[in-house]
Amino acid sequence: MKIVITDMDTVTQNDLSFKGIESFGEVTSYGLTPENLVEERIKDADIVLCNKTPLHRDNLKNAEKLKYIGLFATGYNNIDIPYCKEKGIKVCNAPNYSTDAVAQLVFAFILELSNRVYDYKRLTDKGDWIKSRTFSMFPIPIMELKGKTLGIIGLGSIGRKTAEIGNAFGMKVIAYNRSRKEAENVVQADLETVLKESDILSLHCPLNSESENLINKDTIALMKDGAILINTSRGAVVNERDAADALKSGKLAGMGTDVLQKEPMSPDCPLYGAENCIITPHIAWAARETRERLLEIVENNIRGFIQGDIRNNVAD
């Protein structure tokens, strides 16, 4: 069985073992695969494993032996699902591997934007505390989370974990989801209510036709003055120009985002250098423990496919 990994460098920096996958067959791996080389590299594969490599009708059409696509990811918008259904190709993703890690980054953003730890570190590093007339100096406003309203859009596993942590901080948690979900200590409401009532708004929805550009100048206008926006879902959920304008005007007091519309980041990204905006390079899932869990799910998916016990098939 021939297995091709198209973008190994997006998953590991030589800190993970792929022996489990190698036990299933002959593995050929590429650090990254430019789109113009995808068709050639996968044409003889029985199994293709990828993270973000686009796989569509044009580059899949000559992969006549291909029966299985495994994703090093939960999202699968880079895969031509209708074509795979047509050809009987199984497409298996890796759900829920990053729940704790992403929720942890959400609160890293929230805590930094509410406590301004790095800003105070820079102030201290400059010697300002040495010159202070009083034992405590607090020129930069900070705030308590207790009693604040945490709004969540998308109550999947990550949204529910974020809500759980918010409750631990004594926050009031409200959420919008397209269909009602079971979630303890969460008030579920319509989208407009969540936008209007949130002191901090955290996005956890998948990217689709309904969520694309969801946060724009009109929806931001509904939010509280001085609200904080967190995005660890997909970059295209937020209109970056509108968010940058809201940060500049003070309508948004801060933003933390781990995702952008274009990745890697474009030098003309509207959020690049924006006031009170923290951007991290899509790292929420990058802890070694998280990636080890991801690899285990991918291995189990392949094993299930070989044994006739398909799991996590998003092309079904």
107-128 pLDDT, tens digit per residue, is: 999 999 999 999 999 999 999 9
Work out the percent of the chain whose per-residue pLDDT is above 70.
Answer: 100
CATH number of the domain at 18, please: 3.40.50.720
Give the amino acid at 227: A
The whole-angstrom distance between residue 140's C-alpha and the CA centroid of its chain comes to: 30
Look at residue 314 and tell me if it is in a domain.
Answer: no
Residues 6+ apart with CB under 8 A from 99: 157, 158, 161
Look at residue 316 and tell me if it is in a domain.
Answer: no
Residues 70 and 198 in one domain: no
Range of the domain at 178: 99-279
Helices 99-115 + 117-125 axis angle, to 10:
50
d(CA 124, CA 137): 10
d(CA 72, CA 61): 22
Residues 145 and 248 in one domain: yes
Residues 119 and 161 in one domain: yes
Residues 203 and 59 in one domain: no
Express each pLDDT in 227-263 by its tens digit.
999 999 999 999 999 999 999 999 999 999 999 999 9
Express each pLDDT in 123-158 by its tens digit.
999 999 999 999 999 999 999 999 999 999 999 999
Residues 15 and 148 in one domain: no
The yes-or-no answer on residue 56 being catalytic is no
Residue 100's pLDDT band (cuts 50, 70, 90)? very high
- pLDDT for res 316: 82
Look at residue 313 and tell me if it is in a domain.
Answer: no
Residues 32 and 115 in one domain: no
Residues 195 and 168 in one domain: yes
Express each pLDDT in 153-182 by its tens digit.
999 999 999 999 999 999 999 999 999 998
Catalytic residue among 40, 263, 288, 311: 263
- pLDDT for res 245: 98
Residues 110 and 197 in one domain: yes
Catalytic residue among 41, 116, 204, 282: 282
Residues 93 and 217 in one domain: no
Residues 22 and 119 in one domain: no
Look at residue 311 and tell me if it is in a domain.
Answer: no
Catalytic residue among 41, 116, 160, 234: 234
The yes-or-no answer on residue 241 being catalytic is no
Tokens in use for 246? 């809201």
Residues 208 and 71 in one domain: no
The mean of the pLDDT values for the chain is 97
Look at the chain and report how many structural domains it folds into: 2
